[in-house]
Amino acid sequence: MIDQHLPLARLADETAEKFQQRFGRPPQWVVAAPGRVNLIGEHTDYNDGFVLPMAIDRYTVLAAGRSPGGEPPRLRMVSGHKQGEAVIPLNIPLQPGQPAWANYVLGVAAGFAALGAPLASLDILVESNVPLGGGLSSSAALEVAAATLFEVVTGHRLDPVEKALLCQKAEHEFAGVPCGIMDQFTSALGRENHLLLLDCRSRQAELVPLSDPAVSVLIINTNVKHHLAGGEYARRRQQCEAAARHLRVRALRDAHLDQLKTQHDQMDPVVFRRARHVITEIGRTVRAATAIKASDWPEVGSLMYDSHDSLRDDYEVSCAELDEVVEIARKIGPGNGMIGCRMTGGGFGGCAVSVVQSAATRDIAKKIHGDYQQKTGIQPALFVSRPAAGATVLKA
Ligand code: ADP
Ligand code: MG
């Protein structure tokens, strides 16, 4: 019931082998960057709030080499997840184009060019065991892997926070997704056996140990993605901005629940509920970090369920399938090792994240798999991950 996947070293070897098969020579560089899962703190990042993510031990790996006779300069890219080859000329101003997936790398290349570190011709082979479009941030993994590659290729080293910001800009400007800083930050700065309590305003992260082998993170991919996601995300951002303006604060991070409540009758009811989610979620995130440090698992569980309810009812970004997973988890309950569960990521499908007693993981996974499939007719994917390390250079 629990998906197994290749450890990073094996995935890296396979990627290097595929590069050799495709381009007839071994790669000069192999780099990797992980996906991420957010334990709590959803839709708080673009409100200058707190998030509590970890890097997962699933990675996007890039094997690359300089192209022989590479003039005019261009990137030639192949991905195991996509048909055909993407060839991108680098001697003209870099702009988003086709194929769409190449834009994530192109945006990062544009960031390096803007720093005065342009690229020469490269061949790049991409492999990944982060599910694409599943809410575990394969997009940030691809961007951060590209930035890690371009650092070694150009010799232009970035401070890790600067690197995350460069990748975020790529996602804004080349993929058209106005995301916060969490995904790229976690992929770049993840730490083994630690969550990151990230202050999205100061961009400082506090490391929160999650190293107790008796507790595991179980991720459940609903394997649905509802298509309203893009437009709804932008609408939520606008509603948060409207709420902050109404409350006369710089961002919802600066507002208090009591202050919001006094405005109940003066505010649009939908904007009010959006703000209530963000303000309470920021509080829950900070409390969850404290509870995890104290191994107060009942508190962690109750914060996770409250987070889910708030995302479902006030923020309205859940969906029937995510709600189903969380209901199944609630029924399993703490007596059977289920500590807590909630939707994670932007919403409208994708993944739920749960914290479970390690000894019960197999039974819980079996139960969720069976019940979810029975209720929805959809086969979920489940896997366990310990908090993993961020981007790494494996061959240089
Ligand atoms: P998520 O980040 O949650 O996985 P997104 O929609 O933000 O979902 O990003 C997924 C997109 O990122 C894919 O549709 C594709 O364009 C691009 N992408 C990510 N990883 C890869 C990869 N390994 N190969 C090709 N494209 C990728
Ligand atoms: Mg993404």
Q: Whose CA is nearest to atom 10 of ligand 1?
A: 133
In this predicted structure, the answer to whether residue 228 has a pLDDT above a threshold of 70 is no
Query: Ligand 1 site: residues with CB under 6 angstroms?
Result: 60, 79, 81-82, 100-101, 104, 126, 128, 132-139, 142
270-302: per-residue pLDDT in tens? 999 999 999 999 999 999 999 999 999 999 999
Q: Whose CA is nearest to atom 12 of ligand 1?
A: 139
Q: Which atom of ligand 1 is nearest to the CA of 138?
A: 4
CA of 357 to the centre of ligand 1 (A): 31
| pLDDT, average across residues 196-211 | 97
Ligand 1 pocket: which of 37, 42, 139, 144 to mutate (most atoms within 8 A of CB): 139
305-317: per-residue pLDDT in tens? 999 999 999 999 9
Q: Whose CA is nearest to atom 17 of ligand 1?
A: 101
- Cβ neighbour number for residue 84 with a 10 Å cutoff: 9
CA of 139 to the centre of ligand 2 (A): 4
The predicted model scores a pTM of 0.96
Ligand 1 pocket: which of 6, 124, 132, 232 to mutate (most atoms within 8 A of CB): 132
On whether the CB atoms of residues 82 and 101 are closer than 8 A, the answer is yes
Comparing 69 with 6, the larger pLDDT belongs to: 6
Query: SS3 for 199?
Result: strand
- Cβ neighbour number for residue 279 with a 10 Å cutoff: 26
- Cβ neighbour number for residue 227 with a 10 Å cutoff: 9
| pLDDT, average across residues 168-187 | 94
Beta strand extents in 28-149 (DSSP E only): 29-38, 50-51, 53-66, 74-79, 85-89, 122-128
Residue 198: pLDDT band (50, 70, 90) is very high
Give the DSSP per-residue string, 287-344.
HHHHHHHTT-HHHHHHHHHHHHHHHHHTS----HHHHHHHHHHHHH-GGGTEEEEEE-
Q: Which atom of ligand 1 is nearest to the CA of 136?
A: 3
Place of tokens 């993944």: 351
On whether the CB atoms of residues 255 and 279 are closer than 8 A, the answer is yes
Residue 1: pLDDT band (50, 70, 90) is confident
Residue 241: pLDDT band (50, 70, 90) is very high
Q: Relative to the alpha carbon of 137, which ligand is closest?
A: 1
| Beta-bridge mates of residue 88 | 75
pLDDT at 161: 95
In this predicted structure, the answer to whether residue 197 has a pLDDT above a threshold of 90 is yes
pLDDT at 229: 58
CA of 101 to the centre of ligand 1 (A): 7
Q: Whose CA is nearest to atom 6 of ligand 1?
A: 133
Q: Relative to the alpha carbon of 60, which ligand is closest?
A: 1
209-225: per-residue pLDDT in tens? 999 999 999 999 999 98
Q: Relative to the alpha carbon of 98, which ligand is closest?
A: 1
Mean pLDDT of the chain: 96
Question: Using CA atoms in the order 278, 283, 284, 287, what is the torsion angle rounded to 10 degrees?
Answer: 160
Burial label for 258, CB within 10 Å (0-12, 13-18, 19+), is exposed
pLDDT at 389: 97
Q: Which atom of ligand 1 is nearest to the CA of 60?
A: 23
Place of tokens 């991070």: 253
Q: Relative to the alpha carbon of 107, which ligand is closest?
A: 1
127-171: per-residue pLDDT in tens? 999 999 888 999 999 999 999 999 999 999 999 999 999 999 999
Which residues, at least 6 apart from 200, have a Cβ–Cβ distance to it below 8 Å? 44, 45, 46, 47, 48, 49, 50, 51, 180, 181, 182
Question: Using CA atoms in the order 169, 175, 178, 184, what is the torsion angle rounded to 10 degrees?
Answer: -50
Q: Whose CA is nearest to atom 8 of ligand 1?
A: 133
Q: Which atom of ligand 1 is nearest to the CA of 128?
A: 23
- String of b and e for 143-182 (b: at least 16 CB within 10 Å)? bbbbbbbbbbbbeeebebbebbbbbbbbbebbbebebbbb
54-101: per-residue pLDDT in tens? 999 999 999 999 998 778 899 999 999 999 999 999 988 899 999 999
335-387: per-residue pLDDT in tens? 999 999 999 998 999 999 999 999 999 999 999 999 999 999 999 999 999 99
CA of 214 to the centre of ligand 1 (A): 33
**Catalytic residue numbers?**
183
Q: Whose CA is nearest to atom 27 of ligand 1?
A: 101
Classify strands 74-79 and 122-128 as parallel, antiparallel or unpaired: parallel
- Cβ neighbour number for residue 212 with a 10 Å cutoff: 12
* Closest-CA residue to 142 (of 58, 216, 236): 58
